[in-house]
Amino acid sequence: MYKVSDVISVIENIAPLSFACEWDNVGLLIGNRETTVKNVLLTLDVDEFVVDEAIQKGCNLILSHHPLIFHPVKRLNEENISEKVIMKLIKNDISLYSAHTNLDVAPGGLNDYMASKLELNNTKILEISGVSDKGEYGFGRYAVLDAPLTMNKIIEKCKSVFNLNVSKFVGNPDDLIRTVAVNCGGGAGSIDSCFNKNIDLFISGDFKYNILRDAYENKLNVIDVGHYNSEHIVIDLFYEILSKNLTDINLTKSEKNIDFIKYL
């Protein structure tokens, strides 16, 4: 049987806590490192639906990408939803570990996984954050395609990979793309790096109107795949990492962590 500390060691070997942004809150947020792990629930977000799912499926460790606790918690009187969720975790003896920006920037982390899902080869870091004994790490990845593709073909690829019913993009469907940059989640702020590197296409999420206008005026093609859609694949990444390193560990992919934004 594995302990919570065993799961932590595997995740932090790839994504050390030191890689995380200063504003972030990563690591073991609730629970004890010495607790024996019965079953791990893998999720992007943590909300009351996900916690109820963990209880129903006998999971006593939740591994999430987005932290439940971002700001200091001054009291736990269950007067708001986040306090209720925290208390439900504690009452049911469920540990919570979050790997967020440290996993985004890490070599072999979420941005590399996103790039691999889009079949980008020989990628480079879009924005270098730092250097460690593992080499450089940072936000986003970019690559030159093995062969140029039209925007339309890449849009269809994105719809398949990220399970999109519709596509939001800037550019012409017939535009020929040679260099592609990606940045998972709300990575739209890295657009200046795309300008500086003469990228043809930037794939990310959370694009505001003014950023899309900048892209349009600078002839940068953009595909906005959304924050949730570009990062929900973290569940599969977690699964691959843990199943590869911890033999016979019980892993469950969340079915209750859904995209709450709808389109008609």
Is the pLDDT at 134 greater than 90, yes or no? no
Here the tokens at position 163 are: 């399970």
Is the pLDDT at 71 greater than 90, yes or no? no
User: What pLDDT is attached to residue 72?
Assistant: 84
| Range with lowest mean pLDDT among 68-72, 134-138, 214-218, 256-260 | 68-72
Largest interatomic CA distance in the chain? 58
* Confidence bin at 83 (pLDDT 50/70/90): very high
User: What pLDDT is attached to residue 186?
Assistant: 95
17-42: pLDDT as tens digits: 999 999 999 999 999 999 999 999 99
The dihedrals phi and psi of 82, each to the nearest 5 degrees, come to -65, -40
What are the residues whose beta carbons fall under 8 Å from the beta carbon of 156, sequence distance 6 or more? none
Length of the chain equals 264
Give the three-state DSSP class for 68.
Answer: coil
Is the pLDDT at 78 greater than 90, yes or no? no
How far is residue 28's CA from residue 4's CA, in Å, rounded to a whole number? 9
pTM to 2 decimal places: 0.96
137-181: pLDDT as tens digits: 999 999 999 999 999 999 999 999 999 999 999 999 999 999 999
Neighbours of 113 (CB within 10 A): 19
Give the three-state DSSP class for 238.
Answer: helix
How far is residue 204's CA from residue 99's CA, in Å, rounded to a whole number? 19
